[in-house]
């Protein structure tokens, strides 16, 4: 457990070391994409309470993103992975880690806590209940699906997909008394990263040539969200052939081999950038790109955050909960002529099977994964062409009504 200290926004004029009257802790122990979707709601909290102390508790892997936000006084890192099973209770080192965390939280004397999680499992609810109650915050805000007995101010959890995830967090902000509207996630990007992106684009594309990022990965939580490498390759080759695009294969360090596999299926030669970008450089590269084509993943949400059009392929996952959020309109589902993203999905009654109702569902989908098999390269290419031609399309033709 480590903490990244930020310069407090405002301290008391009489005592610069005094804690502000309102002290808020947000908890989001999740990956980068999930943390990103909480930022608009927390920006609204900051807008309404500019003098407040606002901290966030995140895993180490998401801390860098949180540190890019101007919202937080302190980003507190906590590795929750050792506590993902009941057997962790037998490990004494876990108690030492938790005790240190709780001492730090208690010292901040939080007046309010916002839990930005669904309580989908009994074990998960118990872990969050312990952390929330032990923080000492007298006001405890969160979603309640029947397991939120430890909350004293709650919003009813209507299940995954009733509204977009970011809209659930906006409801929690409203429960905290916030009235300011949610806005696009604000992230501080360095001039060094912007210059790097400018140099990258200049080195790998010609003036006026569209640069299209292709992301065949999905993060490690659910590999079942990954469409097929040979179909990504077919889409990429068509974009080069028909639109003169420069294709860049992107992903994290764990997706270098996957991007290499896509490259071997291609007739044209892409730029291989997987594992070669920091988070800041990835964001500036997304800003400079004409389009992102990829699976349901955190990268898809990063593209939406910087306003880059995206074609998002959804297999077993719930697109109504996790689709790219269109910050130009402030809506998850928009008129087809206005949207800056396209969702491509199969028309099947059995999908989604991941994130359904109040259940996590099938993390690895089913054996056949027909929801991915049904999505063709031609369909993804058609969605991409709408953006390259300037005609935005919000849904694929497969969308079930």
- Distance between terminal CA atoms of the chain? 46
Overall average pLDDT of the 157-166 stretch: 97
Whole-angstrom distance, CA of residue 308 vs CA of residue 320: 20
Two tokens at 261? Answer: 């596999």
Shared domain for 196 and 153, answered yes or no, is no
Query: What pLDDT is recorded for position 151?
Result: 98
Say what the pLDDT of residue 336 is.
41
Burial class (CB in 10 A: 0-12, 13-18, 19+), 181: exposed
- Residues 227 and 132 grouped into a single domain: no
Query: Same domain for 148 and 198?
Result: no
Predicted confidence at residue 318, as pLDDT, reads: 96
Q: For position 222, what pLDDT does the model report?
A: 86
Least confident residue range of 221-230, 254-263, 321-330, 335-344:
335-344
Residue 89's pLDDT band (cuts 50, 70, 90): low
H or E segment to which residue 361 belongs: strand 359-361
For the stretch 356-387, pLDDT in tens is 999 999 988 898 899 999 999 999 999 999 89
pLDDT value, residue 81? 78
* Residue 400 domain-assigned (yes or no): no
Residue 270: count of CB within 10 angstroms of its CB = 22
Q: What is the mean pLDDT of residues 98-118?
A: 95
**Spatial CA neighbour of 235 closest among 379, 19, 371:** 379
Residue 1 has pLDDT above 50, yes or no: no
Nearest CA to 60 out of 101, 110, 106 is that of 101
Which CATH number fits the domain that encloses residue 333?
3.40.50.2000
The reply to whether 158 and 68 lie within a common domain is yes
Residue 80 belongs to what domain range?
Answer: 3-175
Average pLDDT over residues 133-140: 96
Same domain for 218 and 355, yes or no, is yes
pLDDT of residue 18: 66
Query: What is the rounded CA–CA span in Å between residue 82 and residue 66?
Result: 22
Total structural domains within the chain: 2
Residue 88 above 70 pLDDT?
no
Q: pLDDT, tens digit, for every residue of 219-263?
A: 888 889 999 999 999 999 999 999 999 999 999 999 999 999 999
In a domain, 304, yes or no: yes
- As a whole number, the mean pLDDT across the chain is 89
Cα–Cα distance for residue pair 114/153, rounded to 1 Å: 10
303 and 362 together in one domain: yes
Q: How much of the chain, in percent, has pLDDT values that exceed 70?
A: 88
Q: Is 397 within a domain? A: no
Element (H, E) at 173: helix 165-175
What distance in Å separates the CA atoms of residue 6 and residue 14, rounded to the nearest whole number?
Answer: 21
Q: What angle do CA 135, 357, 176 make, to 5 degrees?
A: 35
How confident is the model over 41-66, as a mean pLDDT? Answer: 97
Residues 202 and 281 in one domain: yes
Mean pLDDT, rounded, for 327-347: 73
User: How is residue 136 written in tokens?
Assistant: 């000492």
Sign of the torsion angle spanned by Cα atoms 120, 123, 125, 128: negative
Instruction: Answer yes or no: do 81 and 130 share one domain.
Output: yes
Q: What is the pLDDT of residue 30?
A: 95
Note the pLDDT of residue 13.
37
Residue 185 located in a structural domain: no
Name the band, by pLDDT with cuts 50, 70 and 90, for residue 84: confident
For residue 322, give the nearest of 346, 349, 300 by alpha carbon. 300
User: Do the domain assignments include residue 401?
Assistant: no
Last residue of a domain, one of 175, 201, 221: 175
The answer as to whether 186 is a domain residue is no
Average pLDDT over residues 319-336: 76
- CB count, 10 Å around CB of 153? 17
**Per-residue confidence (pLDDT) for residue 398, from 0 to 100:** 39
* Cα distance between residue 234 and residue 376, in whole Å: 10
pLDDT tier for residue 389 given thresholds of 50, 70 and 90: confident
Residues 6+ apart with CB under 8 A from 12: 18, 20
Tell whether 196 and 262 lie within a shared domain. yes
The percentage of the chain sitting over the pLDDT mark of 90, rounded to a whole number, equals 79
SS3 for 236-283 is HHHHHHHHCCEEEECCCHHHHHHHHHHHHHCCCCCEECCCCCCHHHHH
Rounded to the nearest 10 degrees, what angle do helices 191-204 and 279-288 cross at? Answer: 50
Q: For residue 122, is pLDDT > 70? A: yes
Domain ends where: 175, 206, 233? 175
Q: ω into residue 112 within 30 of 0, thus cis?
A: no
Question: Which of 127, 145, 175 is the last residue before a domain boundary?
Answer: 175
Shared-domain flag, residues 83 and 202: no
Cα-based distances in Å from 263 to 117, 214, 247, 258: 38, 11, 10, 9
Same domain, 374 and 255: yes
Q: Are 171 and 214 within one domain?
A: no
The label of the residue with tokens 């405890």 reads 140
Cα angle, residue 208 at apex, residues 204 and 212 outer, rounded to 5° = 55
116 in a structural domain? yes
Confidence of residue 96 (pLDDT cuts 50, 70, 90): confident
Instruction: Give domain status of residue 328, yes or no.
Output: yes
Mean pLDDT of 380-397: 71
């Amino acid at each position: 457990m480590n903490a990244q200290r930020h310069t407090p926004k405002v301290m008391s004029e009489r005592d610069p070391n005094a804690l502000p009257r309102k002290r808020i802790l947000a908890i989001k122990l999740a990956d980068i994409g999930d943390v990103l979707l909480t930022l608009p709601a927390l920006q609204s909290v900051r807008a309404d309470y500019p003098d407040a102390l606002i901290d966030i508790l995140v895993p180490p892997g998401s801390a860098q993103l949180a540190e890019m936000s101007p919202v937080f006084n302190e980003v507190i890192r906590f590795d929750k992975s050792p506590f993902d099973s009941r057997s962790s209770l037998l490990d004494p080192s876990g108690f030492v880690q938790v005790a240190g965390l709780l001492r730090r939280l208690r010292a901040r004397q939080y007046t309010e806590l916002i839990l930005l999680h669904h309580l989908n499992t009994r074990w998960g609810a118990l872990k969050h209940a312990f952390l929330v109650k032990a923080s000492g915050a007298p006001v405890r805000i969160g979603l309640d699906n029947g397991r939120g007995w430890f909350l004293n101010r709650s919003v009813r959890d209507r299940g995954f997909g009733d509204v977009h995830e970011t809209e659930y967090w906006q409801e929690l902000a409203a429960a905290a008394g916030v009235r300011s509207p949610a806005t696009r996630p604000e992230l501080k990007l360095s001039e060094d990263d912007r210059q790097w992106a400018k140099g990258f684009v200049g080195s790998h594309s010609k003036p006026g040539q569209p640069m299209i990022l292709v992301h065949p990965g999905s993060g490690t939580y659910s590999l079942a969200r990954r469409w097929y490498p040979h179909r990504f390759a077919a889409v990429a080759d068509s974009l080069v052939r028909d639109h003169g695009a420069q294709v860049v294969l992107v992903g994290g360090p764990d997706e270098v081999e996957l991007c290499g596999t896509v490259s071997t299926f291609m007739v044209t030669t892409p730029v291989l950038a997987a594992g070669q970008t920091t988070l800041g450089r990835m964001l500036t590269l997304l800003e400079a790109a004409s389009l992102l084509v990829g699976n349901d993943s955190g990268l898809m949400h990063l593209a939406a955050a910087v306003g880059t059009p995206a074609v998002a392929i959804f297999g077993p996952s719930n697109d109504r909960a996790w689709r790219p959020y269109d910050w130009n309109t402030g809506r998850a589902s928009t008129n087809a002529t206005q949207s800056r993203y396209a969702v491509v999905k199969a028309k099947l009654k059995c999908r989604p099977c991941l994130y359904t109702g109040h259940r996590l569902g099938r993390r690895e989908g089913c054996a056949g994964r027909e929801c991915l098999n049904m999505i063709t390269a031609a369909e993804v290419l058609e969605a991409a062409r709408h953006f390259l031609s300037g005609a935005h399309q919000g849904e694929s033709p497969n969308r079930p009504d």
